[in-house]
Amino acid sequence: MTPLFNKIKDLLRILYVSYSMPRVISSDGREKVLISYLKSPFYLQNRPIKHANVIESRSIFKVFRELGYSVDIVDWRCKRNIEFSKYDVIFGFGTPFIESFNKDYEIQRICYMPGCSPNFSNTNEATRINLIHKQKGVLLRPRREVYWPWMHAVINSDLVIVGGNDHTVSTYTDFTSNVESIPIPAVPLRKEICHQESVNKGLIWFGGAGAVHKGLDLVLEAVVGLDNDVKLDICGPIEGELDFFDLYKDYFNHQDITFNGMIDPNSDRMKEIIKKNSFVILPSCSEGMPSSVSTCMQFGLIPIVTKECGIDIKSSFGIEIDSLDVAGVKNAIKKALSLDNHSIKGMKKKSIEHSRIVNSKNNYETRLLEILKIFGLN
């Protein structure tokens, strides 16, 4: 595809998400809910699922239908004026959700946040960027900064549902007492690539945008600084973070480090990468049970993560990074490399079992239905 074609495609996407009106998905319910999240999963039903938010979107719709609601869907970035008065409930986040506070509508607001509180996330990313600035003299751009009105939505909503665990919830409790957690589902994998038997002691960093936020700098420095020749595969859409690439270009050129870009979890390329590795590492400063990690756990990879990832790590299937710095990441990697093949095989099996139960679509829907019923939507 040419650069001009990509620019036109991006422009059309921006126009679509910004100005398309809410889509009526069902209209036969007793009451009406507006879901401010993603519309695309309801237009492109047959496309392969590459991100957990597609599963979340469809499951949220399914649960509200089960509760007897008519459902309209609007993209969270939509800037069109919406007639909120015709809704009994608005669920989600983003521009439409925030706009619903501009008038005193008789509407129940359920704020859905897929991670730690905006205050916590923004502060932690700024702290990490500031530390790099002090160490290297380069000020990198924040890539995961959350728009400040989202905290207004958190504080003033009737209920807040957050993706993650008790740690994720703890980042909200200074602002609201009505907060519940829900486990984020993993991307479903093709059976033929789901379970890999390899015990190679390589690492995968698998994440979305925001290399510093998700600790890639720490992983690069830890891997290069180890005496062991540990291999690292980097998978994620971070090509546009040119300031980061320029600062860490020597690390990307290291013989033990391979940059793969964005990888479809169900692709043959991902299958080949998985065969070379036994661990997935994500020393993120703020998450909400990242689906990149839970998806890798379905492959049998052993997670090496910080508590800020919002995953309840147990020693039977994972390793927790004790501190958000190079030393903490190094120590966690050393612990992983010290495991014998028998231990690795056992932890890989437990990792699969944990992800299939906790991060299943069914578990997500069951928990969401439970929360909404307790809240009073039945």
| Confidence at residue 223, expressed as pLDDT on a 0 to 100 scale | 97
What would the DSSP string read from start to end of 188-214? P--HHHH--------EEEE--S-TTTT
| One domain, residues 200 and 346 | yes
CATH number (domain holding residue 221): 3.40.50.2000
DSSP state of 366: H
In a domain, 137, yes or no: no
| Confidence at residue 27, expressed as pLDDT on a 0 to 100 scale | 82
- 121 contacts: CB under 8 Å, gap ≥ 6: 115, 144, 146, 171, 213, 285, 286
| One domain, residues 249 and 174 | no
| One domain, residues 78 and 27 | yes
Alpha helices in the chain (DSSP H): 3-19, 52-66, 95-99, 118-136, 149-156, 166-170, 191-194, 216-225, 242-247, 249-252, 268-275, 291-298, 326-337, 341-358, 361-375
Question: What pTM value is reported for the model?
Answer: 0.92
Q: How many CB atoms lie within 10 A of CB 129?
A: 20
Residue 260: give the domain boundaries: 191-358
Q: Are strands 69-75 and 108-113 parallel, antiparallel or unpaired?
A: unpaired
Q: Report the domain count for the chain.
A: 2
Structure-token pair, residue 155: 């504080």
Going residue by residue through the chain, which has 378 residues, state the pLDDT in tens, using 9 for 90 and above. 566 666 676 666 666 666 677 777 878 888 999 999 999 898 867 777 888 999 999 999 999 999 999 999 999 999 999 999 999 999 999 999 999 998 888 899 999 999 999 999 999 999 999 999 999 999 999 999 988 789 999 999 999 999 999 999 999 999 999 999 999 999 988 765 555 567 889 999 999 999 999 999 999 999 999 988 899 999 999 999 999 999 999 999 999 999 999 999 989 899 899 989 999 999 999 999 999 999 999 999 999 999 999 999 999 999 999 999 999 999 999 999 999 999 999 999 999 999 999 999 999 999 999 999 999 997
| One domain, residues 161 and 201 | no
| One domain, residues 156 and 240 | no
| One domain, residues 274 and 370 | no
CATH number (domain holding residue 85): 3.40.50
SS3 state at 287 = coil
Beta carbons of 223 and 154 less than 8 angstroms apart: no
